[in-house]
Structure 1
Amino acid sequence: MAVTTFFWFESAAEAAAQRYVEIVPNSRVLNIARLADGSAFTVDLELDGQRVTLLNGGPGHPLTDAASIQLIVDTQEEIDRLWDALVEGGQPGPCGWLTDRFGLSWQVAPSVLPQLMIGEDPAKTAAVAAALQTMSKIDAKTLQDAYDQA
C-alpha cells in the first residue's frame, strides 16, 4: 500500500510541480503522464520525501484552503525563504498559511511550534496562540518570547 496526497488543478499542474521542486529542498518530479496533445495530465513528485500527485482536471474542483501542504522547518531563515518564495504571486494568510500563485494552500511553521502549543502551562499556550494570531508569516522568536514571558 502507498499513501499519497492528490491535488486537482485546473491546468497548471506541471508548472506548479516544477515551481515546488525548485523551492522545497530534496524534491523532484518523478513522472509526468501526458495526453495525446503533449499536455500534462498528472504529475507525480516528491516534496522532501512526501509523495504528491497533481492532476490537470479542468475547472469544477477549485483548490481551497481546506487542504494544504505543511512545511515544518528548523530556522527562521528557512521560514523566510520558503514563505517568500511560495507567497510570490499568491496571497498571505493568517498564522503561517498562504495561498501560492497556483491556488494551493501551504503552511510554513517552525518545528518548535508544537512544543510551544502543547506545554503543560495553559497560560503559556494561550500566550503563544495569541501571538500566532497576529501573524501572517510566522516569527519563531516572537512565539518563543510569548511563551517565555507568560
Structure 2
Amino acid sequence: MSAITPCLWFDTRGEEAARYWVSLFPRSSITSVQSWGPENPERQGQPLLVEFVLDGHPFTALNGGPEFTFTEAFSLQIDCADQAEVDHYWDAFVGDGGQESDCGWCKDKFGFSWQVVPRILPELLADPDPQRVSRAMQAMMTMKRLDVATFEAVRAG
C-alpha cells in the first residue's frame, strides 16, 4: 500500500460515504472502523476513523465534526474506459442526490467532487494535432456528462 493516504474530513457521515463508494468501485473494501471513545461522550460508540480502499487505493474518512466541508479544490478523477462506465459513475453520483457540473465534474450526495472522464478525452488532449485538441476542448466545454461518441467524432475529424 502507498505511504500516502488521503484523509477526508466529514462531520458524521464518513462510514456511510465509504460504504457507498466501496459499493461502486471494483477492488474496494472497508478495512477498519474505529469508534469514538469516552473522550467524546456525545459521539461515543459512533465511527471516528474509517479506513477503506477504492479501486486498490487507500483512503481514510475522519468524522471530525462540522468545522470543515468539501470543496472543488479537491476531487477524484475516474478514468473510464467507455460510455457505459461514464454513465455508471455519473448516474450513481448525480442520480442519488448529487449535483452535476460542467466538463465532467459532479458532486455526490456527500458533497464530494468527482471528475468522471472517459479515457478518450486525455488521449485527444495529448494529440499532436492542435486542431484536434482544440475541437476536443471546445466539445468538452459544452458538456456536463462527457460523451464518448462526441469525442470519437472529434477524433475522426
Q: Counterpart of 2:135 in 1: which secondary structure?
A: helix
Count of paired positions: 149
Q: Which residue in the other structure is 2:84 paired with?
A: 77
Q: Counterpart of 2:91 in 1: which secondary structure?
A: helix
RMSD over equivalenced CA pairs, Å? 1.2
Determine the C-alpha separation between the residues in 1 that align with 2:7 and 2:152.
34
Q: Counterpart of 1:83 in 2: which secondary structure?
A: helix
Determine the C-alpha separation between the residues in 1 that align with 2:10 and 2:155.
39
Determine the C-alpha separation between the residues in 2 that align with 1:90 and 1:24.
17
In the TM superposition, residue 40 of structure 1 has moved relative to its aligned partner by 0.8
TM-score (norm 2): 0.90
Match of 2:120 among 95, 99, 112: 112
Q: How does 1:1-150 map to 2 (within 5 A)?
A: 2-36=3-37, 37-87=44-94, 88-149=96-157
Identity, % of aligned positions: 38
Determine the C-alpha separation between the residues in 2 that align with 1:124 and 1:42.
46
Deviations 1:8-31 (A, max 9, x none): 111110100010011112211111
1:120 aligned partner, one-letter code: P
Q: Counterpart of 2:106 in 1: which secondary structure?
A: strand
- Bigger Rg, which one: 2
TM-score (norm 1): 0.94
Q: Which residue in the other structure is 2:41 paired with?
A: none
In the TM superposition, residue 112 of structure 1 has moved relative to its aligned partner by 1.9
Structure 1 segments unaligned to the other structure (5+ residues) = none
Q: Is the 8 A contact 1:125 1:147 kept in 2?
A: no
Determine the C-alpha separation between the residues in 2 that align with 1:75 and 1:144.
11
2:144 aligned partner, one-letter code: S
